[in-house]
Amino acid sequence: MFRGRSAHTLDTKGRLSIPARFRDVLVAKYDQRLIITNLPYCLVAYPYEEWRRIEERFSQEPLQRPEVQRFLRFFIASAVECSLDKQGRILIPPHLREEVGIERDVILLGLLNRFEIWSKERLEEELKQVRDNFEHYSEFVADINRLPGGAS
């Protein structure tokens, strides 16, 4: 599983060094290919196998629904396959970087079966909103803790 937070700097070509602990997950559990796409405020990177599961689920949705079409245009059509180079880096295409305001300083967030790539500034804004509204998450956290194996 991907977990943790890591600060990095893109090089002048837009390459991002993937943290060793994330690379270890890719090598142990997946095949080192990533699919990167955009969310409204960040990029998200899925191992290829996880991405295939997402595509399967979307392929079962009724495509005539306008909201499905719009989301597919935004999320699926923007997806790009990336492979790690020998130095453990991926090249993030310019159009994806521009879409979410990534220039040089980025933060990677491990989120179980995927990781997000944020501009440092946007992530700081996002985390401030979470901190300022943390009470809104208390019910969700309490429900998770009630699951078998949850914290007591």
pLDDT digits over 20-34, tens only?
999 999 999 998 899
Does residue 67 form part of some domain? yes
pTM value > 0.85: yes
Q: What is the pLDDT of residue 150?
A: 57
Q: Residue 142: pLDDT above 90?
A: no
Query: Residue 125: inside a domain, yes or no?
Result: no
In this structure, is residue 10 part of a structural domain? yes
Burial of 90 (0-12, 13-18, 19+ CB in 10 A): buried
Domain residues for the domain of 79 are 2-120
Of 102, 126, 40, 50, nearest to 75 by C-alpha is 40
Q: What is the pLDDT of residue 138?
A: 79
Q: What whole-number percentage of the chain has pLDDT above 90? A: 71
Classify residue 49: in a domain, yes or no: yes
Split at pLDDT 50, 70, 90, the class of 149 is low
Pair 10, 80: CB distance under 8 Å: no
Q: Is residue 21 part of a domain?
A: yes
Looking at the 3D structure of the chain, how many domains does it have? 1
| Residues 51-74 pLDDT 10s | 999 999 888 877 778 888 888 899
Domain membership flag for residue 31: yes
Q: Please check the confidence at residue 152 and state whether its pLDDT lies above 60.
A: no
Q: CATH number of the domain at 90, please.
A: 3.40.1550.20
* Partners of residue 81 on adjacent β-strands: 35
Residue 133 in this model has a pLDDT that exceeds 90: no
User: Where does the pLDDT of residue 136 fall: very low under 50, low under 70, confident under 90, or very high at 90 and above?
Assistant: confident
Structure-token match 């943790």, residue found? 4
